[in-house]
Structure 1
Amino acid sequence: MSSNGAAAIVVGVDGSSSSLDAAGWAARAAELRGAALKLVSAYQVKALYTSFVTLPAHIGSQERAAADKILAGASLVARRSVLAPDGLSISVDALVGPTIQAMIDQSSDASMIVVGTRGNGEYFAEVLGSVSTAISAQAHCPVAIVPRSVAIESGRSTVVVGVDASTGNQRSIQLAFEEASLQGTGLVAVHVSSETSTGRSVLAECLAGWGEKYPQVAVTRTVLHGNVVENIVELSQRARAVVIGSGGRRSGISDRLLGSTVRSLAHRVDCPLIIAR
Structure 2
Amino acid sequence: MAKSRSSVGSVVVGLDASRSAMQAVLWAVDEAIHRQIPVYLLYALGEEAGGRDDAESDTAVAERTVGSAMSMIEALKVPVQFEAQIVRSRPITALLDASRSASMICVGSMGFHHLTRGRIGSTWPALLTSARCPVAVVPRTHQPGSRGVDLILAVVDNASTADDVLELGVSEACLRDAPLRVFLLRHTHHRDSCPKPIPVDGRTVVERRVDHWRRTQPKLDIEIVCDHNDLLNYLEQLQRHITPLQLIVVDPRRPGPLDLLLGVAARAPLEAAGCTVMTCTRRQWL
Normalising by the smaller structure, the TM-score range is: 0.7 to 0.9
Q: Tell me by how many angstroms 1:267 deviates.
A: 2.9
Compared CA separation, residues 148 and 43, structure 1 to 2 (3 A): same
Q: Tell me by how many angstroms 1:255 deviates.
A: 2.7
Distance 2:133 2:68 in 1: 26
Is 1:27 the counterpart of 2:20? The answer is: no
- The residue type equivalent to 1:216 in the other structure is K
TM-score normalised by length of structure 2: 0.77
2:111 match: secondary structure:
coil
Is 1:75 the counterpart of 2:78? The answer is: no
Distance 1:186 1:75 in 2: 32
Distance 2:234 2:37 in 1: 33
Kept after mapping to 2: 8 A contact 1:41/1:93: yes
Distance 2:132 2:109 in 1: 20
1:189 match: secondary structure:
strand
Partner of residue 92, structure 2: 100
Kept after mapping to 2: 8 A contact 1:37/1:91: yes
- The one of 271, 274, 277 aligned to 2:278: 274
TM-score normalised by length of structure 1: 0.79
Compared CA separation, residues 166 and 121, structure 1 to 2 (3 A): closer
Partner of residue 176, structure 1: 169
Partner of residue 192, structure 2: none
Identity, in percent, stands at 23
Instruction: Please identify which structure carries the higher helix content.
Output: 2
- The one of 40, 43, 50 aligned to 1:41: 43
- The one of 112, 117, 126 aligned to 2:109: 117
Q: Tell me by how many angstroms 1:186 deviates.
A: 1.2
Q: Tell me by how many angstroms 1:21 deviates.
A: 0.8
Cα offsets for 1:175-220 (capped at 9, x unmatched): 1111111111111111033147456413212324222332221111
Cα offsets for 1:247-275 (capped at 9, x unmatched): 2xxxxxx33224x3242277342311111
1:110 match: secondary structure:
coil
Cα offsets for 1:111-165 (capped at 9, x unmatched): 110011113999x98699x876542122111000111121135494321111212
Kept after mapping to 2: 8 A contact 1:187/1:217: yes
Distance 1:30 1:127 in 2: 32
1:118 match: secondary structure:
helix
- The residue type equivalent to 2:229 in the other structure is G
Kept after mapping to 2: 8 A contact 1:199/1:223: no
Task: Within 5 Å, give how 1:208-223 maps onto structure 2.
Answer: 208-223=211-226
Q: Which sections of structure 2, spanning at least 5 residues, go unmatched?
A: 1-6, 187-196, 282-286
Cα offsets for 1:54-80 (capped at 9, x unmatched): xx9x99343223212211111122333
- The residue type equivalent to 1:180 in the other structure is A
Task: Within 5 Å, give how 1:1-277 maps onto structure 2.
Answer: 7-44=9-46, 45-47=48-50, 60-81=55-76, 84-85=77-78, 87-119=79-111, 133-154=125-146, 156-193=149-186, 194-195=197-198, 197-198=200-201, 200-232=203-235, 234-235=237-238, 238-247=244-253, 254-258=254-258, 260-264=259-263, 267-268=267-268, 269=270, 270=273, 271-277=275-281
Compared CA separation, residues 273 and 178, structure 1 to 2 (3 A): same
Kept after mapping to 2: 8 A contact 1:164/1:202: no
Distance 2:119 2:81 in 1: 27
- The residue type equivalent to 1:238 in the other structure is P
Partner of residue 284, structure 2: none
Distance 1:121 1:136 in 2: 13
Distance 1:171 1:267 in 2: 25
Compared CA separation, residues 120 and 223, structure 1 to 2 (3 A): closer
Distance 1:77 1:256 in 2: 36
Compared CA separation, residues 107 and 245, structure 1 to 2 (3 A): same
Compared CA separation, residues 113 and 120, structure 1 to 2 (3 A): closer
